[in-house]
Amino acid sequence: MNGVFGGKRVLVTGGTGSLGKVLVRRLLSGKEGTPAKVVVFSRDEAKQHFMRLEFQDKLQATDEVIYNNFRRLLEFRIGDIRDFGSVVSALKDADIVINAAALKQVPSCEYFPGEAVHTNIGGAENLVRAIRELGVPVETVVGVSTDKACKPVNVMGMTKAIQERIFIAANILNPRTRFVCVRYGNVLASRGSVIPLFHRQIGQGGPVTITTSEMTRFLLPLERAVDTILAAIAEGKPGETYVPVVPSSRITDLAKAMIGSRPIEIQITGIRPGEKIHEILVSEEEGVRTYRRGEFLVIRPMLPELAEEFEVGALGKAFSSSEEVMDLAQTTILLQEQRLMPEQVIQLDGDLLR
């Protein structure tokens, strides 16, 4: 029963994504305490089906003779974060909620901004509203955000920025529940990230496409993303946002490292709609209320009701991927350590498996 999750019922919305899978595996490992139940809530029955088989070590669907979904430690629920009724049903008996449900593809959100609003903003509001109006005794809610929420220039970032504000403000009207956020940049090898794209392009003989040669990105391993969530749950105060301190690299160096000695061309295609050249995890304005806490930066909330404690030693500046950029050799070593070089991985169902 020890640890953050010992005996707790944990709900992971959007839990079939790359982050969700690694997070659920960590929860089931018992390293932070053995939970009483882990519920994966999402609207894609196919992803749930294959994830369930994967976690049961089943090779074929016919290997599972009896479903027994609700008798298992890991439970799957079909539902939509955009639907209030679905959210209410999923929240029942939950102690900890990790909201990873999102529309996160930058171009898709640019073309369908209304859909991004429904999921990224409406979904968060559904969680807060259900807890407030129905008195659901949830202890902690973690909102999973993105660097794009910091000084947003695209719809995805704008909706995530508002999601952060919804969760932060929820602490005032829902004082029995602690709402915290995590914010990080590009997650290595996650679905939709650049590394699976580069793997496919290299496997096809090229070219490897990059939008602009000046682009830099933070490189965050999936396990480190999970560490950030766990730290926020274990230590975060109401309204705080946890940011991992991680290295960054030029995307051109990332491509060169993965290509190696292969005769593959790098092609510059131009900036995509809503794309940033550099990632910013903490803005200058936020820097004055951002503090180092172990391996993380913590952004204190601006609302005076939540920021009464005074701290010294603020960061005092922005935290951007354009600073302290790794060179090609360092980037290569990082990819090798994470087993993400083309010769080290296989590809299955859109995820890189090591």
Instruction: Just list the catalytic residues.
Output: 148
State the Cα torsion 104-106-108-113 to the nearest 10°: 90
First to last CA, the chain: 31
Per DSSP (E only), the strands in 48-177 are 74-78, 96-99, 140-146
Tokens of 233: 């749950």
How many Cβ atoms are within 10 Å of 263's Cβ, its own excluded? 7
Per DSSP (E only), the strands in 57-198 are 74-78, 96-99, 140-146, 178-184
* DSSP state for residue 120 in the 8-state scheme: I
Cα–Cα dist 84/128, whole Å: 10
Q: Is the preceding omega at residue 207 within 30 degrees of 0, hence cis?
A: yes
Cα–Cα dist 22/1, whole Å: 22
| Contact predicate 123/105, CB 8 Å | no
* Amino acid identity, position 3: G
Bridge partners, residue 13, by sequence: 41, 99
For residue 340, what are the contacts with CB-CB under 8 A and spacing of at least 6?
Answer: 188, 189, 195, 258, 352
Query: 45-55 vs 18-29: helix axis angle to the nearest 10?
Result: 40
Tokens of 106: 């930058």
